[in-house]
Amino acid sequence: MPNRIYNYTAFYVAEPFNQLNLGANAAPDFCYYNMLRAWKGSDSNFPFLDAHGTTYNVRDNSDWEYTLKPRLHERLRNSKNIILFLSKSTCNSRALREEISYGMCYLGLPVIVVYPDFNFNYWISNCNHSPNFRVKSLWDNLPVFRDNLRNYPTCHVPMNKDYIKMALDDADFTIQHKHSNFCWCYD
């Protein structure tokens, strides 16, 4: 059993990449992932441990079956949860489907869903700590997540450092401490 201390970050990046441009670095959801890394870089107490740094990097044109998919699986097996960036620009890509299918549905990892299009919690939650219609409409961008989220613990937060930190510090959203399947939003 691997030491599951990392946070796996899932985000949409268009496929296939164009080697002549910035590739993943130009994708909006990848920029949000880089924001987590920057917060960790400027604040060592920020509770983000990057699973993507646990294996060597891959090139944009690496083989899916022999390189990319096994690398994703290895990183997910080292993780205690998934941080999913779900925005209006998120699309149902092969990689994102695989990350959610394997990480959430096969490994049972809890998911912290970050909504970059919303800066404030009251934009994503209703009065009973559950997501409202704005965020539910984004679930259709990723059907494998939408169709399975009721079977796994999920936490829904805006793109806000304090809320993301609160979710990362919450043991209920780790594989080691999850005790029930629920959908939660903070006040």
- What residues in the chain have per-residue pLDDT under 50? 17-22
What is the C-alpha separation between 185 and 156, in angstroms, rounded? 5
| DSSP 8-state class, residue 110 | -
pTM, rounded to two decimals: 0.89
The model's pLDDT over 115-124, given as tens digits with 9 standing for 90+, comes to 999 887 777 7
Let me know if residue 141 belongs to a domain. Answer: yes
Q: Which two tokens stand for residue 177?
A: 């401490």
**Domain holding 34: CATH number?**
3.40.50.11200
Which range marks the domain in which residue 52 is found? 6-185
> What total number of domains does the chain contain?
1
Q: Which two tokens stand for residue 94?
A: 């092969």
Would you state the pLDDT for residue 7? 97
Let me know if residue 33 belongs to a domain. Answer: yes
Please say whether the beta carbons of 77 and 108 come within 8 A. Answer: no
What is the phi/psi pair of residue 167, to 5°? -70, -40
Let me know if residue 144 belongs to a domain. Answer: yes
Strand order in the sheet with 111-115: 6-10, 79-85, 111-115, 154-158, 183-185
Let me know if residue 30 belongs to a domain. Answer: yes
